[in-house]
Structure 1
Amino acid sequence: MNPTPPPRIDVETQSTDLDDARDFLATAYAGNEWSADATRQPFAFRYSAVGDAAMSLRAIRFDGHLEGVMTPSEDFVVQWTKRGSATIGAGDDQIVMEPGRPQLWPQQGAAFSYDDYEQRIVQVNRAALEEVAGERGTAPGQLVLDHTVRPDDRALTVWRSSVQLISHTVLDRRASPLLQAEMGRLGALALLELYPVVSSSLPDELLLPRNAHVRRAVEYVHEHAHLPITSTDLARVASLSLRALQTAFQRTFELSPNAYIRQVRLDRVRDALLAGDPATTNIADVAREWGFAHAGRFSATYQQRHGEYPRQTLRRFGRQRA
């Protein structure tokens, strides 16, 4: 039986009533404590959303002042303003939006304040993003993106070109469900390039501001361990010289950057073996998938890292099911 494609989203509304517009948005985004006031501009409101439950594109025009609190969401929301002013959060955590620059909404929720603004939004469902992130080694239920990161120019270029292609396709009402699904996957991939996955295994020391450069490199390793990354790549991501990167890793982990990459890949092998069936899982194939070609050296390195041999890890599947 063919899977049923997710229902298509196609909404468009407008209003000149300030309270109606506020209530519409508060309902659409499960917000609370929302208030709206007129500004010097004549009030106008327009909203549109197209896509499906996995990914949608949204546009908002609100000629007025809007503020409130967004509650935690299962969706990942990237927004940017085309005009007007906008702030997210408060105090030391406040983010001032820059026109045209994408910003990931804090998943834990946050207060906001907008004035006379036009906004574009890409909204990706958690399940859709977890599926793509899982292919990169992120365990289900552990996907957290760092909204405080300022994406670099390369990530912004990938994001903008992806959004342009997605918009062109999704706005075509005749696009097939298959093409819509492909655009959802493209949106998820671009989002994972824009903001790094926060690893639950990062030491607390990396959360300190002075270690921000090393943290960027470490998060890049956890996000791209499936790719042929090098110390030079990490130095570029961290905006450090290669020597400074090596010194920082040695100070923080007592490991070289390459040894840290290898350690993360060994952890990914362990995750795969713990999830594998001894009857069908080939240890050598899993090892090669994560860059370990020499079976003997791999087995010894794995034992040194995890305190048991790969075959012992794999057998846990049978014991857990018994």
Structure 2
Amino acid sequence: MDSSLLSHRSRVFERADPYAVSTYVNQHVGQHHIRLPRKGLPEASLDHRKFASLDLCRISYGGEVRVLSHALESVFHLQILLQGHCMWRRGRAERLLGPGELLLINPDEPVDLAYSADCEKFILKLPARLLDAVCDEQRWQRPSEGVRFIHSHYQLLALEGFAGLLTMVCHEAEAFDSLQRVQEHYSQIVASKLLTLLQTNVSRESLGSQAVTFERIAEYIERNLKQDIGSEQLARQASMSLRSLYGLFERHAGTTPKHYIRQQKLERIHRSLSDPDCSVRNITELALEYGFVHLGRFSESYKALFGELPSDTLKRRP
């Protein structure tokens, strides 16, 4: 994971003055100030890429440093500790973060972080307007004060598929021929993934309070195929236990909710690739729209279902 999140191709500073690095971060990633030990001057390094509306940053200060900010105001920070340790403080609460832990900072939250000398972080900056736009597009209800994540700390590997998604985003950011449209798709997927994986104050579309049938659940899935719909989320929307949901799908579809949703996504993509009136310029973009971030697995699943690769379907268009 460590080597997959930006490389030296994105290097901006190496063994540099920490205050110069801090000034650059203020311009591109988020307002803050740093406090260094009185003795010595650590050497800092920074990798940075602008990616659609996101900023990707990999930073190490080379020495013990305290990072402070009153609030990030209009951006969210997702920080992943790659090595070393970082002490997070908020009021009387504090937590020592280790490698593989993720910290999510809301725009209105003060920042008080103490880095160990060997600390290195990956930081993803998401503008609040991106999360608002995803909610509005999907008709998810958000409070007037904006989106807010309920919890601050997570284990990255516990967030299904998110580590792989970040790896793909970083590879795409460093690609020589990265297209703006592809970057925007990735950015929306990252925002949608966070809103569905983590607990927030957003209320997603409900299936309703009346008795839920398989047909109504299938209609809900059809309307939201481009979203990352998990079995637990679907059970909550249907106001039933996970066991009852699995039983419903076994009786009506002969499969699990996860396999059913994947098949519906693949069938929608197949129809798009087969339809000469449907504008499809890039199979990768189409796969990403439906949440297939592992393109090799996508091609394998597609071929297993339809007996040919997606590119073959596209070539056979009339």
- TM-score category by the smaller chain? 0.5 to 0.7
Q: Deviations over 1:254-297 (max 9, x none)?
A: xxxxxxxxxxxxxxxxxxxxxxxxxxxxxxxxxxxxxxxxxxxx
Matched, 1:168 2:171: yes
Partner of 2:53: 54
Compute the TM-score of the two structures, normalised by the length of structure 2.
0.54
Choose between structure 1 and 2 for higher RCO, CA contacts under 8 A separated by at least 6 residues.
2
Across the two proteins, how many residue pairs are aligned to each other? Answer: 206
Counterpart code for 1:101: E
Counterparts of 2:90 and 2:25 in 1: how far apart (Å)? 21
Q: Deviations over 1:223-279 (max 9, x none)?
A: 96898544324999xxxxxxxxxxxxxxxxxxxxxxxxxxxxxxxxxxxxxxxxxxx
Q: How does 1:1-322 map to 2 (within 5 A)?
A: 12-26=12-26, 28-29=28-29, 31-32=31-32, 34-37=34-37, 43-52=42-51, 54-70=53-69, 71-108=71-108, 109-116=110-117, 117-134=119-136, 135-139=138-142, 141-148=144-151, 150-151=153-154, 156-198=159-201, 228-233=237-242
Q: 1:112: Cα distance to partner?
A: 1.6
Counterparts of 1:226 and 1:137 in 2: how far apart (Å)? 17
Counterparts of 1:152 and 1:83 in 2: how far apart (Å)? 14
Q: 1:137: Cα distance to partner?
A: 1.3
Counterparts of 1:181 and 1:28 in 2: how far apart (Å)? 18
Q: 1:78 to 1:149 in 2, by over 3 A?
A: closer
Counterparts of 1:143 and 1:37 in 2: how far apart (Å)? 38
The alignment partner of 1:174 has SS state of coil
The alignment partner of 2:62 has SS state of strand
Counterparts of 1:155 and 1:20 in 2: how far apart (Å)? 35
Q: 1:80 to 1:228 in 2, by over 3 A?
A: same
Partner of 1:306: none
Q: 1:125: Cα distance to partner?
A: 1.2
Query: Is residue 104–residue 147 contact of structure 1 (8 Å, CA) maintained in 2?
Result: no
Q: 1:118: Cα distance to partner?
A: 0.8
Query: Is residue 151–residue 199 contact of structure 2 (8 Å, CA) maintained in 1?
Result: no
Q: 1:199: Cα distance to partner?
A: 5.3
Compute the TM-score of the two structures, normalised by the length of structure 1.
0.54
Q: Deviations over 1:300-322 (max 9, x none)?
A: xxxxxxxxxxxxxxxxxxxxxxx
Q: 1:154 to 1:29 in 2, by over 3 A?
A: closer
For structure 1, which segment, 165-174 or 10-19, has the greater mean C-alpha deviation from structure 2 after superposition?
10-19
Q: For the aligned residues, what is the CA RMSD?
A: 3.7
Counterpart code for 2:98: E
Counterparts of 2:38 and 2:198 in 1: how far apart (Å)? 35
For structure 1, which segment, 20-29 or 97-106, has the greater mean C-alpha deviation from structure 2 after superposition?
20-29
Structure 1: tracts of 5 or more residues without a match:
1-9, 201-219, 237-322
Q: 1:78: Cα distance to partner?
A: 0.5
Q: 1:225 to 1:235 in 2, by over 3 A?
A: closer
Q: Which has the higher helix share?
A: 1
